[in-house]
Amino acid sequence: MTDPALSIRGLEVRFPGLERPALDIPALDLAAAEQVALTGPSGSGKTTFVNILTGLARAPRGSVAWHGTDLAGLPEGARDRWRGTEVGLVMQEFHLFPGLGALENVLLPQRLRHLRLPDGATARARQLLERVGIGRTGQAVETMSRGQMQRVAVARALVGRPRIIVADEPTASLDAEAGAAVADLLLELAGEAQATLIVASHEARFIDRLARVLRLEAGRLA
């Protein structure tokens, strides 16, 4: 693989009280724009891995390099800044801000990161909301259906043009129809943006649609 997007070497994460490492990944490379499922039984290390991949937690041993930046060598503040520009996150429980409309939710991370909104951010947010099928951009998010909420979260994840999109059980709390719509949007929009997509999921109907499947078993890639 020439110039992988992600290159992991010698990653090991241990927690107190556990005999074996929660994660033990000697080597893993992902190409840019690859679409990857992360799956495995409960307790196999998926959340731990997502936290390491997104820099929410620091790798205590080994290297986790995205486009040449080794997250293991960055302190927390630098990892947060890196995540803010490089990663779009979609979580199971949406993490939207109640009381604000869809458009303001999509723009909120941009507002917090930059002192003023970057040129074109509002236009791009509106365009993304239209793309994910949210017509009433001022509707307070807490009044939306769960499927609509997750579609707002997908638009928010993409608005800053991240090179990496990580979704943690994005369809687990949605019914089949809403889940399928969110899966379609994630695959299409990540593909169009040529972003590397990593989806942690238990759901066969989603996993089967991703080009590559990483299966964790007791912290190791099977």
Ligand X SMILES: Nc1ncnc2c1ncn2[C@@H]1O[C@H](COP(=O)(O)OP(=O)(O)OP(=O)(O)O)[C@@H](O)[C@H]1O
| Residue selected from 43, 73, 99, 133 as contacting ligand X according to rule CB under 6 A | 43
User: How many binding residues for ligand X (CB under 6 A)?
Assistant: 11
- If the CB atoms of residues 185 and 203 are measured against ligand X, the closer one turns out to be 203
User: Which range touches ligand X (CB under 6 A), out of 37-45, 81-89, 98-106, 134-142?
Assistant: 37-45
Which H, E and C letters describe the chain, residue by residue?
Answer: CCCCCEEEEEEEECCCCCCCCCEEEEEEEECCCCEEEEECCCCCCHHHHHHHHCCCCCCCEEEEEECCEEHHHCCHHHHHHHHHHHEEEEECCCCCCCCCEHHHHHHHHHHHHCCCCCCCHHHHHHHHHHHCCCCCCCCEHHHCCHHHHHHHHHHHHHHCCCCEEEEECCCCCCCHHHHHHHHHHHHHHHHHHCCEEEEECCCHHHHCCCCEEEEEECCEEC
Residue 44 binds ligand X (CB under 6 A): yes
User: Which range touches ligand X (CB under 6 A), out of 46-54, 98-106, 107-115, 156-164?
Assistant: 46-54
Rounded to a whole number of angstroms, the minimum distance from the CB of residue 55 to ligand X is: 16
- If the CB atoms of residues 46 and 151 are measured against ligand X, the closer one turns out to be 46
Residue 45 binds ligand X (CB under 6 A): yes
| Residue selected from 46, 83, 151, 156 as contacting ligand X according to rule CB under 6 A | 46
| Residue selected from 10, 12, 47, 58 as contacting ligand X according to rule CB under 6 A | 47
Residue 26 binds ligand X (CB under 6 A): no
- If the CB atoms of residues 39 and 148 are measured against ligand X, the closer one turns out to be 39
Burial environment of residue 128 by CB neighbours within 10 A (0 to 12, 13 to 18, 19 or more): buried
What residues form DSSP beta bridges with 200? 38, 168
**Cα–Cα nearest to 54, from 96, 9, 21, 6:** 6
Rounded to a whole number of angstroms, the minimum distance from the CB of residue 78 to ligand X is: 22
Residue 196 binds ligand X (CB under 6 A): no
- If the CB atoms of residues 44 and 196 are measured against ligand X, the closer one turns out to be 44
| Residue selected from 4, 25, 34, 40 as contacting ligand X according to rule CB under 6 A | 40
- If the CB atoms of residues 103 and 198 are measured against ligand X, the closer one turns out to be 198
* Interacting residue ranges for ligand X, rule: CB under 6 A: 15, 18, 22, 40, 42-48
